[in-house]
Every structure is written in structure tokens, then in C-alpha cells.
Structure 1
């Protein structure tokens, strides 16, 4: 009887050791369907280029669609934590989903690298990180170009949601510092099919330029509407607008639009001095080989940088514990927070206990829509 108990205990210990040594599980919540589906394609495609092994451990990527719905993202995150036992997450890809999910991930001590613009307190949410440029950092570059072009009056047309609010607040702050008057704030839904009313109201204020605070396919609506109404001023966009879908939907009507984005979008136009040029070129060539030239997008790049951050942190975490354990997740979080000068496809990451993004001016470039392509603005 005693021998049986000893053997049973030994078997249990072996079982637990085997479970702890299991493969690394990385979850991903991507908006593959719904209003932001055009962006989700890029995020998802990147995973097809990811390695099957990191630092000698096999990796499983668990990808699920939240259908651009924050409540669905919460349910998915709960399942990934409780049933899939993920070690980390890349995503969610929608700002509202990321904000809704982060309390769960932090309570479960699962590192989460958001791939949507996110405004949060790194001290309050120590397991939340971000691979996306802060909205303020990007908008500042756009407003600087407005000032350079002598813009005095600026109108804003953006989403009536958290992302639209982020872009608006950043625009308002930067414009005030640049001495530019913000004369209109018009909003629309991601599911709207027209922004004619918003365009007419904005144009009635006679702005020298219009800033658009939308993303993906719906982000093209104000741009198209302004061109149809014969608007002759400058049109600017944020980093959520820069995508193949925007160019496809807008066509010739969005030519001339100036937007800010990460270096990866124009990887083949970058000067040699840009740190991200090499990794961006390697990544995009691999992506294009699988999905064709239309697959070039900043959103695929955010997934890639999420992976690069985890790849750099995993070796240190493995010294602390094995995957599938809380100790491994804690070690992963600690290693992510110590990230220093990691060169990604979107920029250079250097983090700290109070900054879980750490990107700077090297994470942004200005581009212009020209004949159906994004061209680097020198």
C-alpha cells in the first residue's frame, strides 16, 4: 500500500513536471470580422511567419476572433486564461477590446502586449504592454507638418469612440501648442456608410486643414467626402488609417492625403540610417512571399513587434521557471519591463516600470497617398 502511494506520488510529480515543461502558449485576440476586419487581416497574416520554436521551446499560437466586439474579447480572454492556460497574449487589436481585457489579464498575471493604441497606467496594470506608438507621439508629427504648411484653422472628423477621443485629444493639445485653432469636432460611427453631414459641417468652418480620426476602411469616408465636395485644403490622417484597405476604398479621391505611420509601411523607401529598416525589410519580404504585395501594412508589423518583444523576454523567463506556470509569466513580465533598445519593425523599444511602450521619434514617419501607394514624405 505504501509502495503504491509512493509510486502514485512520483507519478503525480512527473505529471506536474511534464505539464510545467509544456510548450509556450501565446494567445491572440484579433478583430478578423466586423467593422475593423480590413485591419484584422494584417494582424492575422503576420502569425503565418512566426517561428514554431523559441529558445528551444515549441510555441503554440492560439488565435481567436472577437468580431470587433469588446464584450466578445472579454469572453475569449477568460477562456484563454482558464482553458488554454496561455503564457502571454499578443493583442487585442481593437482599443476598446484591449481596455476591456486588460483587467482580466492583469488579475491572472498574464503578460499582454496590446496591438492597438492604448492609454493606460503601467503601474496600475503591470502586466499590460503595448507594441503600438502612443497617439500623442504620432499626432505631434502630423501637427508639426501642419504648422510647416502654415495651417491656422483646423477641423477634426473622427470616430465617436475611444480611439476617436484619443486622436482628438492629442490633436487638440498639439494644435494649441502650435498656435493652430481647432474649429470643428465632428464624429461618426465605425459602422456608418457616409460622413456627408460631418464633412459639410467641418467645411462650413473654412478650415485650412482637416484631421481625420478614423481607421481602416471607415477611416476613408471623410477623406472621400471632402474630395467629392471639392475641399481644397490639406487632409491629414492618423496611423490607424494607413492600410491597403484605405487606398483601395478611397482610390484617386484620397490622393494627397498625408498621414503618420511606422517605418515598416515604407520599408523599401527608408534611408539606411533608420534602425528599423533591416528588421522591417526581412519581415515584409517574408510576409509578401506568403500573401503578396498587398499584404504590406502597419498592422502586421504590430503583431511582429509583439512577437519580437516576447522572443527577447522568453530566455530570461525560462531561467526563472517553465511555461505553464505563474512563475514563468511573472518572469516574462519582469523581462519585458527591462526591454532596452530592442529594434522592432515599427521603432525602438526601451521600457521601464512606468513606461510599458518606450517608443520615441524613431517610431514614426510621414507618408502621402500617391497613385494608390504610400510614399515616404522626406
Structure 2
């Protein structure tokens, strides 16, 4: 992973050194470049297109890298060390919540790439005036799953959720929204994301005879659940969350991944989209750059996370081009952005909604013969 960090740094130096005469605009890149979340954070540093087209009114964007190593305490210090106009990242809900009060106090526009909802929720979760996020809300992903289940006539649901911040956020929405879709939660179990076996929890769930099992976690734990479901021979569909559409999941789960379902950004099955979808040409261009121009796919195959930071950088660039590198004006410009066609959806931010995506930005994918197949329902 350190090799990946070196290559990213070399790439950015090549972009920003000796090409522009004017001073660069610094934005913080707060990602896990090592540690347990490395495969999420590392392949998201693509700013070449912006600088290739002249940067921001002749000034290049410069990413100041802050390696959180998936540890919130390492992210906290980054805010005070670098004078950046805005911040992109972090990737983990727990890290995001640790950073949240600090960027709010410092009034630094921050576009996070976390899956959980609390970073852009107020009330007991604190202010989110300066915080936005590009991945779909957990609640949006839950609605996508539940809409599918309702149309398929599956009404009895078993839940298996992680005990971390992301897992708890998912469970909250899974339980809260079930009645709205005419669904019944017949069993709900939890596990530590570091656990290496969830057969005990799955056996308890199966005693209640659910028609479908919904798991909510990211990282290797998802693949372990898939293997355990296959090991137990449970004859019901397994739904994973929107954080797991990733070649790594198929690699780790092996044959147990076959038939698994999950909500996803359109990136994972973009070639199967109708030509009328406004995102299709945007995603095609991104995939071309990622694979054929910068060859990131050789080390970090495209996954649903790959587009989140790209969208964050592009959204920030639009704001900077409109109002310049003034933090408060940048925040306001992002909040009023409507109709940006990105990799992960068509964004329509409002003062109340700092995510700007609904269920139409997602698809349901099924793993078939090791490929992501767009599930038609």
C-alpha cells in the first residue's frame, strides 16, 4: 500500500509541478491509504482532468494527502496542520463522525465519501452546515432493497448487522423503514466487524424462517457472511449493503458470492444501462481514464467506491470555478448545486439534503458467474 501512496504522490507532483504559473489551490484528501480501509481509499485520487483543462481559472488543484489509516484519531490532526480551502474524505463513518465537529468549528467545506447518514444529520448528531457526502445515504440504499423485496413478494426479513457506526446506522434504517414497505423483521443479530465466523448468528436468524437475509457491513466481513450462509445451506437470498459491490468481495467470497444481491451505484454495471441514461457516457469516460489512461485498474480494480471521491472533487471544482477559493462561498455554492451528473448519480443538493441522491441513482445487482449483472425488476 505504501507503493500505491508513492505512485499517487508522484502522479500529483507531475500534474502540479512546472505546468501552471499561478499558485495552486490546496484541498485536503483525507483517505485511508494504508490499514484496513486501504482498498477503499487509495484508488480515488483522480484530479488529472481538471488540471488538464486549465485547473481553476488557471490555478491547479493540489491534493494534500492525509493518511488516516482508517483511524479517526489520525484524521483529527490533519485539519489543523494544513491550510486547505476544502476537504475531500474520509471514507469511514466512524472517522467522519470524529472529524465532523472539527470541520464544523473550523468552517471548512468537507465532502465526505462515507456511507453512513449521521455525518449529514443534525439534532443529536451535531451541525452539518459544512459537511456533504457523495455516497448514497444508508436510508436510500435500504429503500432500494426494500422496494425490490416488496415487488418480489418477500415480506419476512432477517437482519445481520455490524456493531460499528456504519452497521448501527444501517440497522436503524432497516428497522425503521420496514413497516413502510409492508415488511416484518423476524430476526435481528449483530457481530463485531473483526469476527471471523457468523454461523451462530445466522443459525439463530434461520430459526425464525426469514424469506431473505439482509447483511449490513463493509470489508471482509461481508464475504465471511456469504461463506457462512453457503456453509449452512440456507435456501434464501442474501442481500448485502451498498458498500460491498467490489471485485474484492467476489474474490474473498469465492463461489459463495454466486447469486448474492446488493444495491449499487450504476458504475458496477454501467455497460448494461440503457443509452438514454444520462450517467452512461459520464461513467464510460471515467472508466476509460481509470483503466486505459492512468491504469489504476491494474492495482485497484474498479469498485463502487471508486467514483465517490471523483464526484467529490468534481463537485468541489464546480464550486471553486463559480465562486473562487473562499470557504464560505464554496460551502454555499455546493449547497445550491443542482443537476450535476456524476459517477454515482445526478446530484441535487439542498440546505436540508447534503447528499442530493435518491433511489433512482442506484441499481440492484446480482453476482452471476463472477460478474455484476443488472437485476431487472
Residue 29 of structure 1 corresponds to 30
Question: Is this contact kept in 2: 1:214–1:238, CA < 8 A?
Answer: yes
Within-5 A mapping of 1:33-72: 33-44=34-45, 46=46, 51=51, 53-72=55-74
2:321 counterpart of 1:315: yes
In the alignment, which of 350, 356, 360 is matched to residue 362 of structure 1? 360
Residue 8 of structure 2 corresponds to none
Question: Is this contact kept in 2: 1:78–1:104, CA < 8 A?
Answer: no
Question: Is this contact kept in 1: 2:242–2:263, CA < 8 A?
Answer: yes
Residue 76 of structure 2 corresponds to 74
Residue 234 of structure 2 corresponds to 231
Residue 10 of structure 2 corresponds to none
Instruction: Give the whole-Å Cα distance in 1 for the aligned partners of 2:185 and 2:216.
Output: 14
Question: Is this contact kept in 2: 1:216–1:242, CA < 8 A?
Answer: no
* TM-score normalised over the length of structure 1: 0.86
Q: Per-residue deviation at 1:173? A: 2.4
Instruction: Give the whole-Å Cα distance in 2 for the aligned partners of 1:32 and 1:295.
Output: 15
Unaligned runs of 5+ in 2: 1-21
In the alignment, which of 221, 224, 227 is matched to residue 221 of structure 1? 224
2:255 counterpart of 1:257: no
In the alignment, which of 324, 333, 336 is matched to residue 334 of structure 2? 336
Residue 109 of structure 1 corresponds to 107
2:164 counterpart of 1:186: no
Q: Per-residue deviation at 1:181? A: 1.4
Residue 14 of structure 1 corresponds to none
Q: Per-residue deviation at 1:49? A: 6.5
Unaligned runs of 5+ in 1: 1-20
In the alignment, which of 269, 275, 297 is matched to residue 292 of structure 1? 297
Q: Per-residue deviation at 1:334? A: 1.2
Instruction: Give the whole-Å Cα distance in 1 for the aligned partners of 2:346 and 2:175.
Output: 27
Moved more, 242-251 or 268-277: 268-277
Instruction: Give the whole-Å Cα distance in 2 for the aligned partners of 1:176 and 1:164.
Output: 20
Q: 1:31 to 1:201 in 2, by over 3 A?
A: farther
In the alignment, which of 126, 133, 136 is matched to residue 129 of structure 2? 126
Q: Per-residue deviation at 1:154? A: 0.9
2:210 counterpart of 1:207: yes
Question: Is this contact kept in 2: 1:55–1:315, CA < 8 A?
Answer: yes
Q: 1:356 to 1:78 in 2, by over 3 A?
A: same
Instruction: Give the whole-Å Cα distance in 2 for the aligned partners of 1:316 and 1:41.
Output: 29
Q: 1:47 to 1:184 in 2, by over 3 A?
A: farther
Deviations 1:204-223 (A, max 9, x none): 22211100101122222111
After TM superposition, what 4+ stretches of structure 1 lie above 6 angstroms from structure 2? none
Residue 168 of structure 2 corresponds to 165
- The structure with higher relative contact order (CA 8 Å, sep 6+) is 1
Aligned residues: CA RMSD: 1.9
SS of 2:188's equivalent in the other structure is: strand
Instruction: Give the whole-Å Cα distance in 1 for the aligned partners of 2:49 and 2:289.
Output: 7
Deviations 1:310-352 (A, max 9, x none): 121111222xxxx4xxxx1111111111101111111111112
SS of 1:292's equivalent in the other structure is: helix
Question: Is this contact kept in 1: 2:43–2:296, CA < 8 A?
Answer: no
SS of 1:57's equivalent in the other structure is: coil
Residue 3 of structure 2 corresponds to none
Q: Per-residue deviation at 1:147? A: 1.9
* TM-score normalised over the length of structure 2: 0.86
2:90 counterpart of 1:92: yes
* Alignment coverage as a number of residue pairs: 345
SS of 1:193's equivalent in the other structure is: coil
Instruction: Give the whole-Å Cα distance in 1 for the aligned partners of 2:47 and 2:107.
Output: 23
Question: Is this contact kept in 1: 2:244–2:304, CA < 8 A?
Answer: no
Instruction: Give the whole-Å Cα distance in 1 for the aligned partners of 2:334 and 2:67.
Output: 26
2:312 counterpart of 1:306: yes
In the alignment, which of 137, 147, 151 is matched to residue 144 of structure 1? 147
